[in-house]
């Protein structure tokens, strides 16, 4: 296990598709008590980079990193490629550092799915991610 953990939870969240990602952040923050470190990145592809920087800090790295993003499938394989890359990098990072990476970078078909998973209180994936991190 790496250097001393501070017991705090970090959230790395995509700014892209902010309407939905912000809903997940709000859900997570309602559950988490104490200090939470929030890092925003441009898109889902950048989430593992920020998560790695947090997890590899020599001092006061988080006890867990919640990763939040929304990717919509389109007519090409781009979204699938991004989703797979993010998943592989977060898994490798968790194994390398021993710090849980709570993966809620959602690959969705449409806005109705995003509303259900990001904006509805009972099914908010940010809320679920916060409970998992705790």
Rounded to 5 degrees, what angle do the CA atoms 87, 107, 124 make?
100
**DSSP tag of 110:** S
Contact call for residues 18 and 44 (beta carbons, < 8 A): no
Task: Kindly name the residue from 61, 78, 103, 131 that is annotated as catalytic.
Answer: 78
**Residue 32, both tokens:** 């988490």
Contact call for residues 114 and 108 (beta carbons, < 8 A): yes
**DSSP tag of 99:** -
Distance CA 42, CA 29 (A): 20
The DSSP H or E segment spanning 71 is strand 64-72
Residues constituting the chain: 134
Q: Is 103 a catalytic residue?
A: no
Catalytic center residues: 78
């Amino acid at each position: 296990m790496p250097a001393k953990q501070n017991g705090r939870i970090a959230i790395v969240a995509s700014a892209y598709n902010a309407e939905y990602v912000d809903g997940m952040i709000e859900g997570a923050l309602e559950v988490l008590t104490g200090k939470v470190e929030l890092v925003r990145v441009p898109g889902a592809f950048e989430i593992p980079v920020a998560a790695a920087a947090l997890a590899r800090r020599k001092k006061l790295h988080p006890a867990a990193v919640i990763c939040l993003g929304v990717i919509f499938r389109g007519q090409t394989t781009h979204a699938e490629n991004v989703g797979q890359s993010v998943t592989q990098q977060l898994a490798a990072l968790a194994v390398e550092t021993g710090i849980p990476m709570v993966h809620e970078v959602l690959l969705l078909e449409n806005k109705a799915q995003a509303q259900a998973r990001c904006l509805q209180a009972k099914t908010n994936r940010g809320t679920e991610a916060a409970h998992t991190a705790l």
